[in-house]
Amino acid sequence: MNKNLIIPIFIPHMGCPHTCVFCNQKKIAGCYEKPTANFIKQKVFSCLQTFKNVKEAYIEVAFYGGSFTGIEEEIQDELLEVASNLKKANIIHGIRISTRPDYINKRVIERLKKFGVDTIELGVQSLHRDVLNRSQRGHSEHDVIEAVKQLKKINKKVGIQLMPGLPGDTREKVLATTEKVISLKPDFIRIYPTVVIKETLLAEWLAKGNFVPWTLEKAIEITSEMVILFSQTGIPVIRLGLQAAENLQPGRDLVAGPYHPAFGELVKSRIYRKQIEYLLTNTDTNVVDNHLVVFCYYKDISQVKGQKQANLKYFREKFKLVLEVLPKKDLNSGSIAWLTGTGNSLNVFTRREFLEKYRIK
């Protein structure tokens, strides 16, 4: 199966007892009705009608939006029963839930096994004690380690969600969190730099001058370092930044912070910048009259140049170099090539080589 198709079912928070400073529970809880068994079946069948190439896809029902294992047990059973029956009938292939690290215990593990849940996404956000405390997360680093350990023991796929830029967070704390997360060997990562949403404690703190969100530039730079570290150990980062949504337009629910509808593209572009900079400072490139021609995978041209040509400007200012970026169909995404001294052949610097050599200082 070459494609993963997710059917999202949003679970209201149903009176979450926590007060994470970035969360607007009232707003989120008000958005969704509690799904019923019938609703789930209808949603699955209507999604299957709209998906293309369903036969070749791995189809997953995903319970998102709340701490699934924290809701009433009868409701968990009811929802998982429907999903499990759809899975047994081979209408879907997997079940995914998202929850908090401290909501994984023996009873939960038994339920996940019983209903055949395949993937568990944990809202970890940070593994720094001070950041977790100041963000009022209500769980510890130890909870995260234990949760991952228990889930791995029963062979579940574990995803970890991180939120760089929470109160008290710094580049050093984020990189330390990243190293600790790597040591837990999760199956995938999602990174959502912290933004300030209306009617949250963060919004109050911002108004009083007690919290300063990261700039977009800082979020791009640090997130790109996180992605490099995860990629160096083969852990896929499957999401960068919040999904573009109407309520995240300025003047709606977004108050401040490093939100950008194409945040992932900006991070990928920054990684290309670092790769070319590594090439310039560590390799014998063929720079003639402060002019360098590089080739890349044809679909990545705009990432290599950067948004509004930001990477070209960067190299012009820092290296007094005019960088020309040309497409080359037979190059893989992530590879950069340049002409040899004689101009007769191409040197290729692959993403894999870059990841092997590059060290974050």
Binding site for ligand SF4 (CB under 6 A): 13, 16, 18-20, 23, 25, 67, 100
Nearer to ligand SF4, 18 or 41 (CB): 18
CB of 123 to ligand SF4, least distance (A): 6
Q: Specify whether the CB–CB gap between 188 and 194 falls below 8 A.
A: no
Nearer to ligand SF4, 169 or 225 (CB): 169
Nearer to ligand SF4, 13 or 305 (CB): 13
CB of 192 to ligand SF4, least distance (A): 11
CB of 19 to ligand SF4, least distance (A): 6
Q: Specify whether the CB–CB gap between 355 and 228 falls below 8 A.
A: yes
CB of 2 to ligand SF4, least distance (A): 33
Nearer to ligand SF4, 20 or 219 (CB): 20
CB of 70 to ligand SF4, least distance (A): 8
CB of 205 to ligand SF4, least distance (A): 15
Would you give the end-to-end CA distance of the chain in angstroms?
Answer: 39
Cα→Cα distances 287→274, 302, 323, 324, 338, Å = 18, 22, 9, 11, 10
Nearer to ligand SF4, 67 or 194 (CB): 67
Beta-strand pair 157-162/94-99: unpaired
Nearer to ligand SF4, 19 or 345 (CB): 19
295: left (phi over 0), alpha (psi -120 to 50) or beta: beta
CB atoms inside a 10 Å sphere around CB 180? 16
Q: How far apart are CA 61 and CA 9, in angstroms?
A: 7
